Amino acid sequence: MALQDYMTILENMGAAVFATVDSEGKPRTRFANVGVANENGIFFMTKPGNEFYTQLQANEHVSISAMSNDENGIQAITVDGKVREVNQSYLEDILKDNPYVKDVYPDEEDRKSVVALQVYEGSGFYMNLKEHKNDTFEFSAE
C-alpha cells in the first residue's frame, strides 16, 4: 500500500490515542481526533495551555495509536513522530468533518481559541488482522 492509503485509513479511524511525556518523564495519553492525514502529515488540534499542548511544546515527540473494526476487519495503526504548531488556516480542514468538535468545543469562541498541530515526520506500523498483513511506512513534510 502507498503512504496515502495508510493516512486515509488513519483519518477515517478518527479518534486516536495520543501519547506524550509530562515534565517528570512519565507517559500521558489522551484521545484526540485525527482531523486530516495525508502526504503532508497528520493534523489535529488542541487548546493552548492545556496539559497536552504544554507537553507537546516541551517535547515534540508523540506516539499515536488508532484501531477500527469494520467490514475490512480489525485494522490498527501506530505512528511515532514529531509535532509542530502550524498556521491557523489548517483549522478549517481539521474542523470540517470532525464529529466531536461541537461536543468538545460547543461554543464558537472556544473553537476560535484552538491551535492546529502537525505531525510533520514520523514512522508508522499498520496491521490488518483479517488479511494477516503487517507493514511499515515513513513520512516527512517540509
Above 70 in pLDDT, residue 117?
yes
The pTM (predicted TM-score) of the whole model is 0.90
Domains of the chain: 3-140 (2.30.110.10)
3-state helix/strand/coil string of the chain? CCHHHHHHHHHHHCEEEEEEECCCCCEEEEEEECCEEECCEEEEEECCCCHHHHHHHHCCEEEEEEEEEECCEEEEEEEEEEEEEECHHHHHHHHHCCCCHHHHCCCHHHHHCCEEEEEEEEEEEEEECCCCEEEEEEEECC
pLDDT tens figures, 48-88: 999 999 999 999 999 999 999 999 999 999 999 999 999 87
Q: What is the mean pLDDT of the chain?
A: 91
